[in-house]
């Protein structure tokens, strides 16, 4: 079952291409992470899906509805925490939940929802006196009032301390366990990695990578590489005396390994050079590495990564 | 489509929030009462009310007999006592403060920051008795409200003496009263104006503020994700400001009656004004909030709309004292019809006039309410 279907979606603000032709689908019951730096177009994309913004081009179907034209109907079926969620200052979380229940014309048990978002202790505190984490939990609570099958969480943990973030993660995991479909935007990699089934990395209005975290690393990250702390001289020596590709950056020699045995050749060359070298280890790209590569301008106009062969290394 | 239940729940949350905010409560209820107290205190008739009138009498005689000292009699008359010893009027507006004849009078007035005074020249009595023209010099500041009273009073006294000189007698006397059957005081005219003020200010400023603030903090987006509609949202605000206006009305009337003995006619005719007024200005506030990008601009535009209306619509001063072009402006201000209507109902019992005012206010209210709901966007294109 598909909850969301987006194809070739575009939204321009004058010259600025906030969203420039993105396509993806979100399956029922999964947590789909939209990851990207500030200004990547995540919020614009999510607000179009929520029916809060009008698209320029492309197709968007959310729960089989057009979010802009059928917003009123759609809003009964979805829950949303907008970015930087705020609410009436002089209203407590419990009152807020009752208020929403009345607006939706449904019976909701405030205590049950408060328990679900771990906010029982602050049920009577005025919104203005809640901590950042409690405010976000209030937002989550309100998003849950109408028992939505689909939830949009726009940067739900931005600006929160690590404990508060983990508490929100707990709540989100609980929601997934109950079968909710969740769209999550974040610029925290660990958050996306911890929570999402699938991730789309957005940059400058494009989706530059999409899939499970492992798939993205496999596709866009380098394979295993040998890293040696050493000098540029040593890097040049190894490159001259082996068949290997050698990269050098700030005291770190990095050698992609096509097979494990390549490491041995590299180390033999290093030993032969009589030059000093320090710590050695092998590693793979993490999501962080891939993300930095994808969003730091190393993306061509089709959203494809430009493969970097020789960043700082002039060869011999 | 409009759900009374949703309006009621929005009303409950909003009014609770309002009541918990002490500043809002002050602005909505206490501030108009303070205004009544201030204006009432300034204009209430039981103040000392007399104007100090510096008088220098340079006519030191000599006088063959006390009767020949007309200058002194003139000073007494300025003080409210006729030459025959009777009081000229019960409410004499000026009180003479004698200045020694050795003083430089102009300098004396300046030193005492006084603008009202009279100089009686030497030889005044002799010239008067001889039937020779003699002038007294009246000092006054034309921008001061006291100067008209002073010159009127001096003119009256001078006429009295002129008539007496030729054995004339007073034929036309003046007794003063006001248009209403009952004795009407300034506070009676002031209360409708101040009620108009509170009908304007509280809903208008609040809605300008709320609608721009909610836009900035994305609360409107938040609300647009619920089944609540813009019209329901505005309706609940309107309801609350009607409640607040009625409460403020009762409070102001009570204070006016208890503190200043105001005469207030409470009739059912007041009800439509108390319903339409807040509806009109809450909607206008929302409309102002829609055309602005941020709360700061909204505040400025709110003030630009509110303040001229406040002063030009006859809230604090009757518009009849204004020049014609300002009166024409007043006639396009919705608040003018509310204040005039309240005056028609509460002071003049002129219900024909009130019906016309109500019709005008009603039409404007419907137009503004519809425009506010139509033009206000809580999601973006």
Torsion angle in degrees (nearest 10) through CA of A22, A27, A33, A34: 20
Same domain flag for B212 and B351: yes
**pLDDT, position A307:** 44
For residue B381, being part of any structural domain is answered with: no
Same domain flag for B55 and B12: no
Q: Decide which of B96, B131, B165 is a domain's last residue.
A: B165
Same domain flag for B224 and B274: yes
Stronger pLDDT, B304 or B378, i.e. the higher one:
B304
Q: Which domains does chain A have, with CATH numbers?
A: 2-218 (3.40.50.300), 222-284 (3.30.70.260)
Residue A19: closest CA among A37, A45, A1: A45
Q: Report the 3 state secondary structure along A183-247.
A: EEEECCHHHHHHHCCEEEEEECCEEEEEECHHHHHHHHCCCCEEEEEECHHHHHHHHHHCCCCCE
Test mutation, B4, B221, B226, chain A, max A CBs within 10 A = B226
Instruction: Scan residues 201-220 of B and list those with Cβ closer than 8 Å to A.
Output: 217-219
Same domain flag for B259 and B339: yes
Is B5 within 8 Å of A102 when comparing Cβ atoms? yes
Pair B24, B36: CB distance under 8 Å: no
Question: Is B22 at the interface with chain A, CB within 8 A?
Answer: no
ipTM value of the model? 0.78
Q: How distant is the Cα of A107 from the closest Cα of chain B, in angstroms?
A: 13
Same domain flag for B56 and B126: yes
What does each C-alpha distance from B335 to A63, A104, A169, B192 come to in angstroms?
A: 49, 38, 54, 11
Same domain flag for B208 and B120: no
Tokens of A200: 């789309």
Which residue has tokens 């866009």?
A220
Q: Report the 3 state secondary structure along B169-206.
A: CCCCCCCCCCCCCCCCCHHHHHHHHHHHHHHHHHHHHH
**pLDDT, position B168:** 63
Is A86 within 8 Å of B224 when comparing Cβ atoms? no
Is A103 within 8 Å of B226 when comparing Cβ atoms? yes
Q: Decide which of B130, B165, B200 is a domain's last residue.
A: B165
Is B13 within 8 Å of A99 when comparing Cβ atoms? yes
pTM of this structure: 0.75
For residue B151, being part of any structural domain is answered with: yes
Q: How distant is the Cα of B22 from the closest Cα of chain A, in angstroms?
A: 11
In angstroms, the CA A182 to CA A277 distance is 49
Count of the separate structural domains present in chain B: 2
Q: How far apart are the first and last CA of chain A?
A: 56
Same domain flag for B8 and B127: no
The angle at the Cα of B84, spanning B131 to B46, to the nearest 5 degrees, equals 115
Each as own residue / partner, the long-range contacts of residues B40-49 (CB below 8 Å, 24 or more positions apart, any chain) are: B40/B187, B40/B190, B40/B256, B40/B259, B40/B260, B40/B262, B43/B186, B43/B187, B43/B190, B44/B185, B44/B186, B44/B187, B44/B260, B45/B185, B45/B186, B49/B91, B49/B93
| Residues of chain B contacting residue A50, judged by C-beta atoms under 8 Å apart | 225
Largest CA distance in chain A: 79
**Percent of chain B predicted with pLDDT > 90:** 26
| Residues of chain A contacting residue B6, judged by C-beta atoms under 8 Å apart | 102-103, 105
In angstroms, the CA B44 to CA B260 distance is 7
Same domain flag for B34 and B58: no
Phi-psi label, residue A263: left if phi above 0, alpha if psi -120 to 50, beta otherwise: alpha
For residue B367, being part of any structural domain is answered with: yes
Q: Decide which of B165, B197, B218 is a domain's last residue.
A: B165
Same domain flag for B31 and B94: no
What's the domain range around B137? 51-165
Pair A239, A316: CB distance under 8 Å: yes
How does pLDDT run across B227-236, given as a tens digit for each residue? 999 999 999 9
Q: For the domain that residue B124 is a member of, what is the CATH number?
A: 3.40.1710
Identify the three-state secondary structure at position B378: coil
| Residues of chain A contacting residue B20, judged by C-beta atoms under 8 Å apart | 90, 126
How does pLDDT run across B257-289, given as a tens digit for each residue? 888 888 888 889 999 999 999 999 999 999 988
For residue B62, being part of any structural domain is answered with: yes
Q: How distant is the Cα of B281 from the closest Cα of chain A, in angstroms?
A: 22
CA nearest to A145 within chain B: B226
Q: What residues does A6 pair with on adjacent strands?
A: A24, A60
Which residue has tokens 């939990």?
A137
**pLDDT, position B145:** 67
Residue B219: closest CA among B233, B204, B203, B205: B233
Identify the three-state secondary structure at position B258: helix
Is A86 within 8 Å of B219 when comparing Cβ atoms? yes
Same domain flag for B161 and B220: no
Peptide bond into A5 cis (omega under 30): no
In angstroms, the CA B239 to CA B2 distance is 15
How does pLDDT run across B154-193, given as a tens digit for each residue? 888 888 888 877 776 655 555 544 444 444 567 777 888 8
For residue B176, being part of any structural domain is answered with: no
Q: How many helices (H) and strands (E) does chain B have?
A: 15, 4
Is A52 within 8 Å of B13 when comparing Cβ atoms? no
In angstroms, the CA A228 to CA A244 distance is 14
For residue B380, being part of any structural domain is answered with: no
For residue B286, being part of any structural domain is answered with: yes
Question: Is B15 at the interface with chain A, CB within 8 A?
Answer: no
Same domain flag for B55 and B26: no
For residue B201, being part of any structural domain is answered with: yes
Is A82 within 8 Å of B224 when comparing Cβ atoms? no
Same domain flag for B139 and B196: no
Q: What is the pLDDT along chain A (316 residues), one digit of tens a residue?
A: 899 999 999 999 988 999 999 999 999 999 999 998 888 899 999 999 999 999 999 999 999 999 999 988 999 999 999 888 999 999 999 999 999 999 999 998 999 999 988 899 999 999 999 998 899 999 999 999 999 999 999 999 988 888 889 989 999 999 999 999 999 998 888 898 889 999 999 998 999 999 998 899 888 887 788 999 999 999 999 999 998 889 898 888 989 888 888 899 999 999 999 888 889 988 888 888 888 888 875 544 444 444 444 344 333 3
Pair B252, B337: CB distance under 8 Å: no
Q: How distant is the Cα of A75 from the closest Cα of chain B, in angstroms?
A: 5
């Amino acid at each position: 079952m598909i909850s969301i279907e987006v194809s070739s979606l575009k939204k321009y603000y004058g010259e600025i291409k906030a969203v420039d032709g993105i396509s993806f689908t979100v399956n029922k019951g999964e947590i789909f992470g939209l990851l990207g730096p500030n200004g990547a177009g995540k919020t614009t994309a999510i607000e179009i899906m929520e029916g809060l913004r009008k698209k320029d081009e492309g197709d968007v179907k959310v729960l089989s509805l057009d979010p802009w034209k059928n917003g009123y109907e759609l809003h009964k079926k979805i829950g949303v925490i907008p970015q930087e969620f705020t609410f009436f200052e002089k209203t407590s979380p419990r009152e807020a939940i009752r208020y929403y229940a009345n607006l939706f014309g449904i019976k909701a048990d405030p205590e049950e929802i408060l328990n679900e978002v771990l906010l029982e202790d602050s049920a009577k505190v005025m919104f203005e006196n809640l901590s950042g984490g409690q405010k976000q939990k209030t937002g989550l609570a309100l998003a849950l009032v109408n028992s939505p099958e689909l939830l949009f969480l726009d940067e739900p943990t931005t600006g929160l301390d690590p404990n508060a973030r983990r508490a929100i993660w707990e709540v989100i995991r609980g929601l997934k366990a109950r079968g909710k479909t969740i769209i999550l935007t974040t610029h925290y990699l660990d958050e996306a990695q911890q929570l999402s089934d699938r991730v789309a990395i957005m940059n400058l209005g494009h989706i530059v990578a999409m899939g499970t975290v492992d798939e993205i690393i496999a596709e866009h990250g380098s394979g295993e590489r040998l890293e040696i702390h050493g000098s540029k001289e040593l890097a040049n020596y190894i490159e001259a005396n082996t068949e290997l590709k050698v990269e050098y950056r700030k005291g770190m020699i990095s050698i992609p390994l096509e097979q494990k045995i390549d490491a041995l050749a590299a180390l033999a060359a290093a030993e032969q050079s009589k030059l000093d070298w320090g710590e050695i280890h092998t590693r793979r790209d993490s999501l962080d590495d891939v993300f930095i590569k994808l969003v730091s301008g190393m993306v061509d106009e089709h959203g494809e990564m430009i493969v970097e062969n020789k960043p700082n290394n002039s060869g011999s | 489509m409009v759900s009374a239940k949703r309006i009621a729940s929005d009303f409950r949350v909003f009014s609770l929030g309002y009541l918990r905010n002490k500043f809002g409560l002050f602005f909505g209820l206490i501030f108009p009462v303070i205004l009544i107290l201030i204006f009432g205190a300034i204009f209430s008739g039981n103040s000392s009310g007399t104007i100090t009138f510096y008088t220098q009498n340079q006519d030191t005689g000599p006088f063959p007999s006390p009767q020949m000292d007309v200058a002194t009699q003139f000073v007494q008359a300025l003080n409210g006592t006729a030459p025959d010893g009777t009081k000229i009027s019960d409410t004499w507006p000026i009180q003479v403060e004698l200045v020694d004849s050795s003083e430089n009078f102009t300098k004396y007035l300046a030193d005492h920051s006084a603008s009202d005074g009279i100089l009686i020249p030497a030889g005044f009595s002799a010239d008067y008795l001889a039937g020779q023209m003699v002038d007294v010099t009246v000092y006054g500041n034309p921008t001061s409200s006291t100067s008209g009273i002073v010159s009127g009073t001096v003119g009256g006294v001078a006429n009295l003496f002129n008539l007496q000189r030729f054995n004339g007698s007073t034929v036309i006397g003046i007794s003063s009263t006001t248009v209403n059957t009952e004795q009407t005081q300034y506070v009676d005219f002031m209360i409708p104006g101040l009620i108009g003020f509170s009908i304007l200010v509280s809903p208008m400023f609040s809605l300008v503020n709320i609608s721009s603030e909610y836009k900035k903090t994305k609360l409107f987006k938040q609300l647009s994700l619920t089944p609540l509609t813009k019209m329901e949202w505005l309706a609940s605000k309107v309801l609350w400001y009607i409640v607040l206006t009625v409460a403020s009305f009762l409070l102001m009337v009570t204070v006016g009656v208890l503190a200043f003995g105001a005469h207030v006619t409470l009739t059912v005719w007041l009800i439509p004004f108390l319903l339409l007024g807040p509806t009109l200005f809450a909607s206008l506030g929302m409309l102002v909030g829609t055309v602005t990008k941020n709360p700061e601009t909204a505040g400025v535009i709110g003030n630009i709309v509110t303040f001229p209306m406040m002063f030009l619509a006859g809230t604090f001063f009757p518009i009849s004292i204004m020049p014609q072009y300002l009166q024409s402006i007043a006639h396009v201000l919705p608040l003018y019809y509310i204040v005039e209507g309240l005056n028609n109902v509460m002071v003049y019992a002129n219900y024909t006039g009130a019906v016309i005012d109500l019709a005008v206010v009603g039409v404007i209210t419907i137009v503004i309410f519809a425009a506010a709901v139509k033009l206000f966007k809580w999601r973006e294109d």
